[in-house]
Amino acid sequence: MSTIPSLLSSCPDMQVALGTAFNKFASTFEPLPFLEYLNSDPNRSNITSMITRPQGKLINVDVTYWRRRAEASLLANQPNPVCSGGDIDPDATETYQLDSSINIQDIEKTTIGDLERHCTSNPQYFADLIARLVDNVERGVATKSATEAAALIGSWASNVTADGNNNLVVATKFADLTQNPAFIGDIKLATMKTNYVGGALVFADTLMYRAYMDALVGCCTDSGIDVSATLASYGIATMYDYRVETAMAASAQGANTSLITQNGALALLYHTRSGWTDGMPMDWKIGSDYAFRTIFGRTGTPLDLTVSDNCGEVTIAVTATTKVVGLPQDMYKSGDRFEGVTGVNSAKVTNP
């Protein structure tokens, strides 16, 4: 016979996901604008598919090109026709390669006992786990890519005034600390002089991005210039990326520098090993205790996913093999006003 207690029964403990408990959940996934840009269709280059071949093959690619002939070599008032003379002008070669042993990896393990005690369903648990690993690896790729890109800064055209580190020096404020909207035009003019095709992309440091935001909402200067309308006409996309700012500050460019580039000047090489099973006469993709396949992160970066079951201890690893490369440094000959131009540049904010 049951009895009725004099006190109410205690409610059992409850386990819920953070996103369920807080409707306005601040996601732990942070924006990765530079990595997303590298993987975007407007920036994608053929060099990546040339290096990474089907079935996980990896090769070196020799890219040949002709350097622009120098105007200084032109002759005036010469015989015409002419049947002899001139020198041999050889082509140039740049070798692009990717070392598959240089990678970024995150790995975690769990056990059957862990799964028994966890409230989340097993499929959801592993989906969440893989998502966390992928997020961490992609953030690592973003940091590595920013560092590699910062080392690829080229020259401005010879008729652009730059400092000793190839930085275009701009001021975002006047001496009285008021906004100087002319810095936007300085960048636009410098990219035009440096033969940028189409618009430019600026991955701005804190000082420049703050000035850019102020310009977006600003109206008219004392001279009557509509700053926001002028900015809209320049065709310059400006973004902030913490990793690019950090990498640029740690590079030869120094603090308060921004990376400026154009579509196609930088390429993200990547390689996945799991493709070796493609086309095999039997299904090698998954076994009873092992799986190895290619997945894609939220930025579009291809990744290797390994899942291994060792007698109830499950190990999951996500690996990224990537490298950022740029155009050859010697596309233009010595003495050319574009000597050293690669479509990747730097601007430094120096205010009075």
| pLDDT digits 0-9 by tens, 187-234 | 999 999 999 988 899 999 999 999 988 877 765 555 556 666 666 677
How is residue 207 written in tokens? 């000082």
CA–CA separation, 344 and 146 (whole Å): 12
Structural domains in the chain? Answer: 167-268+328-349 (3.30.2320)
Summary mean pLDDT of the chain: 86
What stretches of 173-330 adopt beta strand conformation (E)?
Answer: 200-204, 236-240, 257-261, 266-271, 290-296, 302-310, 313-326
* Length of the chain measured in residues: 352
CB 219, CB 226: distance < 8 Å: yes
The tens digit of pLDDT for each residue in 247-280 reads: 999 999 999 999 999 999 999 999 888 877 676 6
For the ranges 54-68, 263-277, 334-348, the lowest mean pLDDT is seen at 54-68
Looking at residue 277, the DSSP 8-state letter turns out to be G
Section 296-319 average pLDDT: 93
CA–CA separation, 147 and 263 (whole Å): 19
Residues 6+ apart with CB under 8 A from 93: 62, 63, 64, 65
pLDDT, residue 44, reads 84
The model scores a pTM over 0.75: yes
CB 297, CB 322: distance < 8 Å: no
What's the one-letter identity of residue 207? L
Residues 6+ apart with CB under 8 A from 215: 179, 181, 184, 227, 228, 231
Q: In what order do the strands lie in the sheet with 200-204?
A: 167-170, 344-349, 257-261, 200-204, 236-240
